[in-house]
Amino acid sequence: MPFHHFIHESPGWTTVSSELMYRNPYLEVRCPTLTSPTRPAPFTWTVCHRKGAVVVAPRTADGAFILVRQERVPIRTSIWEFPAGQIDDEDGPDVIEMTGLRELREESGYELAPGGKLVSLGFFFPSASFTDEHSHLLLAGPVVPSPQGHEHDEHEAITECRAFSAAEFRTMIASGEIRDANTLAAFARLVALGLM
């Protein structure tokens, strides 16, 4: 299975063994036995492997952000969030940018305007104590509606898509209406980098 394990054995870390506990096309659960810089005696941990992902913060020429409202099965509800999707083959060229542009168009029906560009906001780990899942963050702007519209795939259930002013977006974060790590992490980087 093409999981790209986001593990670069750092100095002082050694994987003694890595028992496969469960696997399906969407995740892999392993219980590695390993040593770390502060733990020279082998110990065991539980790790979920997932594909990496790309999150896109789409911004229009007048500074509004595009959000999609999507059904999320684990929490049995729909939430407003930035378009995002998994990376099919992390070793491909320009794969982060290509995945971001694909998800932008498929999920929101927007695309980069002529002269628009993608700006990297780095990456983050959604839950670093149990999964190596990592999500790259991109600012896309300016964006405009695509002539092709959106193309939701069969696994997605996006019920709404609309533009929110920067002030509205900030209010949704303050109130807790925005409550997914992808969108919160992108906002954190945008603010810290002085990009909004």
Per CB under 8 A, residues contacting a second copy are 6-10, 13, 21-22, 24, 26-27, 29, 31-32, 34, 36-39, 45-48, 50, 71-79, 81, 122-134, 157, 159, 170-171, 173-174, 176, 179-181, 184-185, 187-189, 191-194
Burial (CB count <10 Å: 0-12, 13-18, 19+), residue 57: buried
Q: In the bound complex, what is the minimum distance in angstroms from residue 153's beta carbon to a second copy?
A: 13
Q: Which residues contact 93 (CB under 8 A, 6 or more apart)?
A: none
Q: In the bound complex, what is the minimum distance in angstroms from residue 88's beta carbon to a second copy?
A: 15
CA distance 172 to 153: 27
CA distance 15 to 32: 7
Q: In the bound complex, what is the minimum distance in angstroms from residue 158's beta carbon to a second copy?
A: 8
Between 106 and 180, name the residue whose CB sits nearer to a second copy.
Answer: 180
Between 26 and 89, name the residue whose CB sits nearer to a second copy.
Answer: 26
Q: In the bound complex, what is the minimum distance in angstroms from residue 115's beta carbon to a second copy?
A: 25
Between 65 and 123, name the residue whose CB sits nearer to a second copy.
Answer: 123
* 128 residue type, one letter: A
Q: In the bound complex, what is the minimum distance in angstroms from residue 134's beta carbon to a second copy?
A: 8
Between 115 and 192, name the residue whose CB sits nearer to a second copy.
Answer: 192
CA distance 112 to 118: 8
The vertex-106 CA angle with 24 and 137, nearest 5°, equals: 75
Between 110 and 187, name the residue whose CB sits nearer to a second copy.
Answer: 187
